């Protein structure tokens, strides 16, 4: 049986995060995106220390779609080098896993 997979990424703002997430939901690559606005970031980029405000996004999908989600997110993401981290939970509520499988079934055919 497939396993749940969380994807962590950031976007420059909430609208871009929601639009990208909605396109991934419509394509059945993810079941859900949670967007948290107002994150303050300090990061190293091309030899400089930068500061910025971003929106955190957590995407919910299944392990078998990891490569497809990765490709689609890279294609649709506005950052030159987006942070895309895959987090494999050690377990999931049975109803949650059933929901994830059901909502991503079209992409797994």
Distance, CA of 2 to CA of 102 (rounded, Å): 11
Q: Is residue 86 pLDDT above 90, yes or no?
A: yes
pLDDT of the residue at 88: 96
pLDDT of the residue at 104: 96
Q: What are the tens digits of pLDDT across the range 2-48?
A: 999 999 999 999 999 999 999 999 999 999 999 999 999 999 999 99
Q: Angle, nearest 10°, between helix axes 14-26 and 66-76? A: 140
Could you report how far apart the first and last alpha carbons of the chain are, in Å? 15
**Pure H helices in the chain:** 14-26, 66-76, 94-103
8 A C-beta contact, residue 51 and residue 42: yes
Q: Is residue 107 pLDDT above 90, yes or no?
A: no
């Amino acid at each position: 049986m497939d396993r749940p997979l969380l994807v962590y990424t950031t976007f420059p703002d909430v609208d871009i995060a929601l639009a990208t997430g909605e396109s991934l939901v419509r394509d059945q690559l993810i079941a859900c995106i949670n967007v948290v606005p107002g994150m303050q970031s300090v990061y190293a980029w091309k030899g400089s220390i930068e500061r910025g405000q971003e929106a955190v996004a957590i995407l919910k999908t299944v392990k078998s779609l990891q490569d497809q989600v990765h490709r689609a997110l890279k294609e649709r993401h506005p950052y030159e080098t987006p942070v895309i981290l895959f987090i494999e939970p050690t377990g999931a509520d049975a109803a949650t896993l059933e929901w994830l499988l059901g909502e991503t079934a079209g992409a797994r055919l």
